[in-house]
Amino acid sequence: MYGLIGVGIKKLVEIELGSSAWDRISQRADFSERDFIKTDCYDDSMIFKLVHEISNELGVSVADVLIKFGHYWVDFAISEGYGNAYKLGGTSFVDFLKNLNKLHMYVASSFPKLQPPHFQVVNDTGEELDLIYRSARSDLEPMVIGLIEALGIKFNKKISITVLSKDAEKTIFKTIYS
Ligand code: HEM
């Protein structure tokens, strides 16, 4: 994954736990550089190792760390100058979900090796919808949950999001919004 993700993870740890915690976590994860270059690619396994060590440091599950990171990511991306990418998303919660692929295509213009997630909205009733998530990676569903909850806050929506089904190819989230 691109270092931009790692910079976000490091910032979140520093905000929540302080910079000495980041030093401990990166040491335990054998991440001797301790800093990411936003436009460099890093092995996903390194990012997962760091997330694992953060969960150990906090005494919470890996899923909880990923949810927290999803919450943080939305504002972090704006603070990193990606506010324009959000403008592509449209002005309503559902439109935004429908435009997530467009958003990542725009991001890919700065990050050519991006392996973005793919999202599809189906069965929208105006109160609930199914969000289909496809990824080259596994086990990032809690990050999606955190991200969608954070988008709900941005669009003044109360969100309930749960995994409806998961197979090798896709995960479907039931998303209730009001
Ligand atoms: C302007 C805002 C955003 C930027 C700049 C951005 C950028 C990125 C980048 C750089 C990656 C790493 C992929 C790679 O390195 O191959 C990524 C992954 C991801 N993004 Fe975004 N993103 C943004 C908004 C969002 C939003 C709003 C969602 C909401 C669902 C989202 C969902 C994800 C997920 C789930 C991943 C993990 C990769 C995977 O599932 O395989 N992103 N994004």
* Model pLDDT for residues 13-37, shown as the tens digit of each residue: 999 999 999 999 999 999 999 999 9
Across residues 146-169, what is the average pLDDT? 97
Q: What is the residue with the minimal CA distance to atom 28 of ligand 1?
A: 147
Ligand 1 center from residue 146 Cα (angstroms) = 12
Across residues 35-42, what is the average pLDDT? 98
Instruction: Choose which CATH entry (3.90.1520.10, 3.40.50.620, 3.40.50.720, 3.40.190.290) describes domain 90-177.
Output: 3.90.1520.10
The answer to whether the CB of 131 is under 6 A from ligand 1 is no
Model pLDDT, residue 88? 87
pLDDT (tens digit per residue) in 86-109: 888 889 999 999 999 999 999 999
The answer to whether the CB of 77 is under 6 A from ligand 1 is yes
The answer to whether the CB of 111 is under 6 A from ligand 1 is yes
Buried b (16+ CB within 10 A) or exposed e, 100-123: beebbebbeeebeeeeebebebee
- With bands split at pLDDT 50, 70 and 90, how would you rate the model's confidence at 143? very high
CA distance 118 to 132: 8
Tell me the pairing of strands 159-166 and 171-177: antiparallel
Model pLDDT, residue 87? 87
Mean pLDDT, the chain, whole residue set: 97
The answer to whether the CB of 82 is under 6 A from ligand 1 is yes
Model pLDDT, residue 117? 98
Say yes or no to pLDDT of 126 above 90: yes
Across residues 55-71, what is the average pLDDT? 97
The answer to whether the CB of 2 is under 6 A from ligand 1 is yes
Q: Report the atom number in ligand 1 closest to the C-alpha of 144.
A: 35
> Domain ranges in the chain?
3-59, 90-177
Across residues 136-145, what is the average pLDDT? 97
The answer to whether the CB of 136 is under 6 A from ligand 1 is yes
